[in-house]
Chains A and B, each alone.
Chain A
Amino acid sequence: GAGVSQSPSNKVTEKGKDVELRCDPISGHTALYWYRQSLGQGLEFLIYFQGNSAPDKSGLPSDRFSAERTGGSVSTLTIQRTQQEDSAVYLCASSLSSDSNQPQHFGDGTRLSIL
């Protein structure tokens, strides 16, 4: 597609449930990033994928969070046993490569609400 696509756009779930968020990056982009943005806050880095390299998971806040990227394209972010503090907008971004001079292109995000 023309841009980064994320689904669902909104997700409301009960505390303790698992959720899966999807990101479809721009075709041809080898680098993919996940961020979390709480209301009125900046972007918190979660995880980064580059091609077939091992992902950089240094930003994942707990072992309840995991992500995978299949075939170097679509990525899913999974949050197990959700907690209320997980409520936030989860943004995915892709870039042409992992070179630091490449801009990141963001999707519209998934707004996650934990009841």
Chain B
Amino acid sequence: GQQVMQIPQYQHVQEGEDFTTYCNSSTTLSNIQWYKQRPGGHPVFLIQLVKSGEVKKQKRLTFQFGEAKKNSSLHITATQTTDVGTYFCAGHRSSGSARQLTFGSGTQLTVLP
């Protein structure tokens, strides 16, 4: 079945440093979504990427979708303590049922003040 791998599993950064999490799928994706889960909270949708090579920005967050639509990344510039949480990518397969999102294992970000 489809697998979505995400690295690193954990990342500790000093406030102000940059952070990147990477997502790789074993199969081509029709789109990829990113979610953020604060400690003790539930996943909250951040963004969706659909096109090959697409890049989207939300303030300090930059999201990329690979040319082959099998990988993606989230980059945070100058992290703040409010960025703390676990970031998940989630992909829909290109073929077969597109109903099921496959989530990566997440990257837990800690920002030290």
Contact = CB atoms under 8 A, between A and B. Distances in A.
Given A43-B43, A103-B45, A98 B106 contact: no
A94 to B, nearest CB: 12
Given A43-B88, A48-B99, A56-B97, A104 B31 contact: no
A45 B44 contact: no
Interface residues of A, number: 27
Contact of A42 (B48, B97, B99, B104): B104
Nearest to A53: B99
Contacts of B112: none
A109 to B, nearest CB: 6
A86 interface: no
B113 interface: no
Interface of A: 31, 33, 35, 40-45, 48, 50, 56, 58-59, 91, 93, 98-101, 103-109
Given A58-B100, A106-B44, 5 more contacts: A35-B103, A42-B6, A42-B104, A101-B48, A107-B42
13 contacts: A31-B99, A35-B103, A42-B105, A43-B90, A43-B103, A56-B99, A58-B100, A59-B100, A98-B99, A100-B98, A101-B31, A103-B33, A103-B45
